[in-house]
Structure 1
Amino acid sequence: MAAINAPALAQTTAPAPPENPNLKIYRATPEKINDLVHTKLDVRFDYKKRFMYGKEWVTLKPHAYKTDSLRLDAKGMDIKTIAVVKAGKNTPLKFTYDSLSLNIKLDKVYNPGENYIVYIDYTSKPDQLKVQGSMAISDAKGLYFINPDSTVKGKPVQIWTQGETESSSAWFPTIDKPSQKTTEEIYMTVPSKYVTLSNGKLVSQKSNGNGTRTDYWKMDLPHSPYLFMMAVGDFKITKDVWKGKEVSYYLEPKYAPYAKNIFGYTPEVIEFYSKTLGVDYPWNKYAQIVVRDYVSGAMENTSATLHGDYVQGTPRQLLDRYYNTAQGESTVVHELFHQWFGDYVTAESWSNLTVNESFADFSETLWAEHKYGKDEGDAHINGDRRSYLNAPDAATKNLVRFYYNDKEDMFDVVTYQKGGSILYMLRNYLGNEAFYKGLNIYLKTNALKNGEAQQLRLALEEASGKDLNWFFNQWYYNAGHPILNITYGWDAANKTQSVYVQQTQAGNAFTLPIAVDLYVGGKKTRQQVWLRTKSDTLTFKVAAKPELVNVDAEKMLLAKKTDTKTGDEFAYQYANAPLYLDRLEAVTWARNQASSDANGRKIIVAALKDKYYGIRIEAIKALKLSNDDVRNAAQPILVSMAQTDPNNLVKAAALNALGGLKASGNTTLFKQALGSQSYAVQSAALNGLAALDPAASLTMAKGLEKDSEGDLSQSILNIYAANGTDAEWPYVNQKFEEADAQGKFSVMRNYAAYIGRLQSSAYALQGIEQIKATGVRYKQYGVAPALVTILEGIKTQRAKDEASVKAADAAIAALK
């Protein structure tokens, strides 16, 4: 499962919640009484009712002790028949059902290892199921009918499933726990015009002569119930291959011509991960499918990953997608790594979700390093660290967590970003060879079974020969991170350089092996040291006062750091220390200095020509162009960047910076940039021209409306929202509806102001409904208070429009 980032919108401060008694419940791994062995399903769909009619033959066996009973998860179903199957005959069984769990009395006492088959005839009714999602998975009804009655023009009719965490039991009865594994067969009867996808191999397709077809999918290797999947719809399949295994891409027909542009690197990633782990991709095929209205980012169903439609794009849209700037490729590689860590070896409980999600998160950095270089990888892992360190309550949560309010709460920045950052540190400490050998041991030892963090520790200890209890105890089984204050002392008489490192976090000191680089006379020497106490003093004998002492020189620590280097030292660090974070730390320091600081200006201007596009963008953001010295030095570079930089996002950032000057001399530059194929560049150019002549920007926006996507449509939307009339409303409303969460919230205030001045009451009602729907969908992220304030503002603006006031009141009520 890919991580989801909460939408950004100013939020009001809520009072501290009362103590939650659920946090005191120990979340034990569920006891195994019966084991799943094989699951056979025969399903068909009622599009009008949004029902699924299912027949199931589930093979089980007692785990360790005799039993005469069976409990299955089955959420919100109509149960018609339950029987034991013997010699091809069904013998009815007694059962009780509370709408969530089936308790079945078996026909006899079964011994450990003795298989039995239970037949169930049932109806799944997912749209009648009242369940709650999480920060990562916004809904949990398991089975989704998308536009089944074709009422939304232009929107495809689809069916798809989402099993994680325990939602597969909304569409078939099972023991819905990650510690269970079962082989699988699914017969899917669907309208003949549609394509199907499921786990494993498509064995056969049979025409039924009545406009329907039955597809038979089979998965021969055991996997957990939450990884079962189905998808049905009008998809075009593009086939690829890796070592004779089918690799396929299922896309809406509109995007099918670009399948290789979107997913074509997949075989290369499979090869890289297989070689790195020493375990070849373990399943008989790998498919990726893109669906509408998906409730998360993506899902690693075994051999059949499901993506939200954000991953689709035309070649022109893809021009602006870079690894560290948009979801897409990082999510693709994340889900693919799950085929080993999560599917091949599965977390035995949600408490140990780290052995699934932390590895998938880490794999994003692993691929970035391999494909795009160390700067790209370092930028990616730094983004993970920042996400975790900036999260308000993350420091209170263990990575392996046996106490939580709900299993859905495990899908957070601790499991994903902190976990990925910890694996990054661990790889550095052990070295690549021992680290990947340990992963190989873990995968092979627990193949097609379950794992937890202790098994990972044992595998890495076997590979490295090192004791890792200290590492796992502080990073996996305890919460928080070090907060470091780093100061320096130079003793000229004794030629001794001292480094003072204080750990100021509450609680115990962290044990931290780090590198310290000393630059003396232009030459670098490295010292490997350990920090073990709350106050460590490091001393180094050197020939002369160092130009720079670079603590945590490998930039590995997951820590908050206050480093008291001077401006001269940061300037030297930018020019001489090699890593992305060395340069970013210097740029960050420079950004916070007054414009008159010579070192700060020197760093920022130098960083405009940095080798990595992300640093160039940060440097542009750091520019204080109101300062004459800064502007005179930077403006010619910005003009050159806007015209010739190889990265479209850098070009766009340069144009936006120049646009902020509101200098008519840049008009020609902006007009030339409007001819770019990059939507980001066009957007920035339009913004620059709009800043020079807001009224004329409406006409310019009209000319670009027809072929507008992404950043460009966002700019047009903002221009219309700020200055438009009722004539522009249909475009604004359509683009707002199509925008993702960040897009919606970035334009929300202008959008609301536009609604307030609309002449048409009908248009205003459409806008109020859009705000309400957005607020309800993202309410769990804490956006409701800000949206209530916005809706109150619309009420004030439209006080004479009774229908709008009434609609706004209803929207406010829905958000409270």
Structure 2
Amino acid sequence: MKINLALFLFLFVHFAAAQNHQKRFESIDVQHYIFEIQLNDTTDRIEGKANILVKFLKSSENLQLDLIGLNDSTSAGMKVKNVVFDGKPVNFIHKNDKLKINFDREIGSGETVNVGIIYLGIPADGLIISENKFGDRTFFGDNWPNRARYWLPTVDHPSDKATLDFLVFAPEHYKVVSNGQLENELDLGNGIKFTNWKEKKPISTKLMVIGVAPFIEADLGRYKNAEVSCWVFPQNAKEGISDFAYGLRPLSYFSQTIGAYSYEKLAHVQSKTKYGGMENASCIFYAERAISGKQKIESLIAHETAHQWFGNSVTEQNWHHLWLSEGFATYLTHRYEKFYYGDEVFKSGLIDDRKQVIEYAHKKMAPVIDTTVTDYLQLLNANSYQKASWFLHMLRNKIGDKVFAQTLQEYYLNFRDSTVLTDDFKDITEKNSKQDLDEFFHQWLWQPGLPVLKWQWKQKSNGEIRIKITQVQKKVLFHFPLEIKLLPQNEEKSQVKTLEVSDRKTSISIVPKRKIKDIQLDPDVKLLFELNE
């Protein structure tokens, strides 16, 4: 095998970074962040103070955080002015986008300490300072996957969750929205307003954001203890409030079908996120141009709301297991649409998803859990969303509706406000279903591709039907049940047979009760496959 030196060095650096984070994951656990951010209208430079409460799981004399440093050629990036520990300045090294803080003593295993950091700079990313579509200046956090480090000193990895406070000082003509609940909003005079939002549940840095703009805020109602609201730009306030009118419904649906909502409120926010929607905990950001006033974003609202359970409260421990977030949100959105709009809408959504999975497989043959990816934005693909959703659909059909519902509820209850890997979900599924699911998880999540089927059938003079199924995809074979629907000639009642397919070629003979005019594969949309005609 040949590998060019540049690629080798690239992979080696990312592998080393992953290894370094694993050591950090085993050594420290951030408990709470307090971020004080000063914004202004004359420059994009922010001034920040961070107080970070850290529990040490192993003894150490230093702490390493992620923070993008100052780039002299662009003048963007953060410059650390001072670090304080035990009430006095301590030495630090800010190099290669890592902030290493050297303590003047050893921090013991189990000890919790507070570190203060004073810094400033122009965010190159992460905090998007720009103009909205109406020309108004806005500030929006957009941290996924690991872009919090552009403006916040953090352990910028989904495995480390913490509670937080945002203390924002901004010109008085802005309103500020963030995670958690509003603790204080105070006019300080001289045109400055102070806003404090507090998130009491631990969340990953990918979800820690502020939105600062000349918002119109509207109350959408309440579900139990959670207030639901929308925050929209004043020029399209009517359209925004109309589009977000569905904001309460998915919160109610998922609370009843999965478990109690984890956060203090739910805000739907028109924003400058680069994504169609970003599921920040209790504070969902939507692309500004999604707002039309035509109420066409209900499925998007449902998807981002489903993330509050899976992705936010139950968080993938590393990015390669993103399907535990995006696959769940995609499939739960289909279940939501089935509940409100019926089975045909549900099946139509699955069929559309299957087409996207097939198209992606033709471009790139990769598993859902693709540990080779180092540019995490590449994980935003049909495998993480649609194929993972299909995996859950097939799993539900395999273990049954009741066991599937029980498994989702137990999985959420066990790992609420925590982090997970795929095996955590698999263990609960196996326990509840009393099935060995090693092969099922492996072939659909860890193995690339999907079944590509070629088939033919004929009916003999004695009425016997002979059906031949061939898996024509290269290399790997899949094992799956395939439903076959026999359609009689005279609009009589059809028959459905299930064929277990595991070999390259599988045949079945059926003697139907009457003459058959046609046969359908997978009539009830239960299998992810491509038909080779």
TM (norm. structure 2) is: 0.92
Task: Tell me which of 447, 458, 466 is aligned to 1:489.
Answer: 458
Letter in 2 for 1:269: P
- Give, in angstroms, the shift of residue 98 of structure 1: 1.3
CA contact (8 A) 1:437 1:460 kept: no
Task: Tell me which of 538, 551, 572 is aligned to 2:508.
Answer: 538
Task: Tell me which of 514, 527, 532 is aligned to 1:557.
Answer: 527
The answer to whether residue 486 in structure 2 is matched with residue 518 in structure 1 is yes
SS of 2:430's equivalent? helix
Partner of 1:106: 103
Task: Tell me which of 292, 302, 311 is aligned to 1:333.
Answer: 302
| Mapped partners of 1:288, 1:353: distance in 2 | 23
- Give, in angstroms, the shift of residue 366 of structure 1: 1.6
CA contact (8 A) 2:225 2:264 kept: no
SS of 1:217's equivalent? strand
The answer to whether residue 254 in structure 2 is matched with residue 273 in structure 1 is yes
- Give, in angstroms, the shift of residue 415 of structure 1: 0.9
| Mapped partners of 1:394, 1:284: distance in 2 | 42
The answer to whether residue 22 in structure 2 is matched with residue 42 in structure 1 is no
Letter in 1 for 2:483: A
CA contact (8 A) 1:20 1:405 kept: no
Partner of 1:146: 130
1:182-234 residue CA offsets vs partner (Å, 9 max, x unmatched) = 01011111111211001000011122121111111101111111110101111
Q: How does 1:195-206 map to 2 (within 5 A)?
A: 195-206=175-186
The answer to whether residue 403 in structure 2 is matched with residue 434 in structure 1 is yes
- Give, in angstroms, the shift of residue 171 of structure 1: 1.3
CA contact (8 A) 1:492 1:545 kept: no
| Mapped partners of 1:177, 1:501: distance in 2 | 46
Letter in 2 for 1:188: V
Partner of 2:371: 402
Task: Tell me which of 6, 24, 30 is aligned to 2:22.
Answer: 30
The structure in which a higher percent of residues are strand is 2
CA RMSD of aligned residues (A): 2.1
| Mapped partners of 2:11, 2:106: distance in 1 | 38
The verdict on how the C-alpha distance between 1:99 and 1:18 changes in structure 2, with shifts beyond 3 A counting, is closer
Partner of 1:8: none
Letter in 2 for 1:147: E
Q: How does 1:741-756 map to 2 (within 5 A)?
A: none
| Mapped partners of 2:235, 2:92: distance in 1 | 49
| Mapped partners of 1:394, 1:400: distance in 2 | 17
CA contact (8 A) 2:51 2:116 kept: yes
SS of 2:328's equivalent? helix
Task: Tell me which of 498, 504, 516 is aligned to 2:466.
Answer: 498
Letter in 1 for 2:458: G
- Give, in angstroms, the shift of residue 41 of structure 1: 1.3
Q: How does 1:719-730 map to 2 (within 5 A)?
A: none
Task: Tell me which of 60, 80, 90 is aligned to 1:67.
Answer: 60
The answer to whether residue 274 in structure 2 is matched with residue 295 in structure 1 is yes
| Mapped partners of 1:260, 1:429: distance in 2 | 41
CA contact (8 A) 2:246 2:298 kept: no
- Give, in angstroms, the shift of residue 433 of structure 1: 1.4
1:678-721 residue CA offsets vs partner (Å, 9 max, x unmatched) = xxxxxxxxxxxxxxxxxxxxxxxxxxxxxxxxxxxxxxxxxxxx
The verdict on how the C-alpha distance between 1:430 and 1:310 changes in structure 2, with shifts beyond 3 A counting, is farther
The verdict on how the C-alpha distance between 1:501 and 1:398 changes in structure 2, with shifts beyond 3 A counting, is same
1:607-660 residue CA offsets vs partner (Å, 9 max, x unmatched) = xxxxxxxxxxxxxxxxxxxxxxxxxxxxxxxxxxxxxxxxxxxxxxxxxxxxxx
| Mapped partners of 2:219, 2:190: distance in 1 | 29
- Give, in angstroms, the shift of residue 428 of structure 1: 2.0
Letter in 2 for 1:70: L
| Mapped partners of 1:237, 1:347: distance in 2 | 32
The verdict on how the C-alpha distance between 1:211 and 1:19 changes in structure 2, with shifts beyond 3 A counting, is closer
- Give, in angstroms, the shift of residue 557 of structure 1: 1.8
| Mapped partners of 1:218, 1:369: distance in 2 | 36
The answer to whether residue 257 in structure 2 is matched with residue 286 in structure 1 is no
SS of 2:39's equivalent? strand
Q: How does 1:147-226 map to 2 (within 5 A)?
A: 147=131, 154-226=134-206
CA contact (8 A) 2:351 2:525 kept: no
| Mapped partners of 1:99, 1:191: distance in 2 | 33
1:90-120 residue CA offsets vs partner (Å, 9 max, x unmatched) = 2211111115111111232222221000000
- Give, in angstroms, the shift of residue 553 of structure 1: 2.3
Partner of 2:215: 235
The verdict on how the C-alpha distance between 1:45 and 1:99 changes in structure 2, with shifts beyond 3 A counting, is farther
1:662-691 residue CA offsets vs partner (Å, 9 max, x unmatched) = xxxxxxxxxxxxxxxxxxxxxxxxxxxxxx
| Mapped partners of 1:20, 1:362: distance in 2 | 36
Greater relative contact order: 1 or 2 (C-alpha under 8 angstroms, separation 6 or more)?
2
Task: Tell me which of 203, 225, 238 is aligned to 1:257.
Answer: 238
Higher CA-based Rg: 1
The verdict on how the C-alpha distance between 1:18 and 1:485 changes in structure 2, with shifts beyond 3 A counting, is farther
| Mapped partners of 1:344, 1:155: distance in 2 | 35
Where do 4+ consecutive residues of structure 1 move more than 6 Å? none
- Give, in angstroms, the shift of residue 79 of structure 1: 0.4
| Mapped partners of 1:120, 1:369: distance in 2 | 49
The verdict on how the C-alpha distance between 1:34 and 1:439 changes in structure 2, with shifts beyond 3 A counting, is same
Q: Which runs of 5+ in 2 are unaligned?
A: 69-76
SS of 2:494's equivalent? strand
| Mapped partners of 2:146, 2:362: distance in 1 | 25
SS of 1:401's equivalent? coil
CA contact (8 A) 1:514 1:553 kept: no
Percent of pairs with identical residues: 24
- Give, in angstroms, the shift of residue 258 of structure 1: 3.7
Letter in 1 for 2:103: L
Q: How does 1:782-801 map to 2 (within 5 A)?
A: none
| Mapped partners of 1:18, 1:530: distance in 2 | 47
Partner of 1:77: 78
- Give, in angstroms, the shift of residue 393 of structure 1: 5.2
| Mapped partners of 1:30, 1:415: distance in 2 | 23
CA contact (8 A) 2:487 2:495 kept: yes
- Give, in angstroms, the shift of residue 524 of structure 1: 1.8
Letter in 2 for 1:30: Q
Partner of 2:121: 124
| Mapped partners of 2:412, 2:322: distance in 1 | 16
- Give, in angstroms, the shift of residue 552 of structure 1: 1.6
The verdict on how the C-alpha distance between 1:18 and 1:530 changes in structure 2, with shifts beyond 3 A counting, is farther
Count of residue correspondences: 512
- Give, in angstroms, the shift of residue 312 of structure 1: 1.1
Q: How does 1:671-690 map to 2 (within 5 A)?
A: none
| Mapped partners of 1:528, 1:513: distance in 2 | 6
SS of 2:217's equivalent? strand
| Mapped partners of 1:368, 1:265: distance in 2 | 13
Q: How does 1:350-749 map to 2 (within 5 A)?
A: 350-391=319-360, 395-493=364-462, 495-520=463-488, 522-562=492-532
Letter in 2 for 1:218: K
| Mapped partners of 2:432, 2:241: distance in 1 | 38
TM (norm. structure 1) is: 0.61
CA contact (8 A) 1:23 1:404 kept: no
The structure in which a higher percent of residues are helix is 1
Letter in 2 for 1:306: F
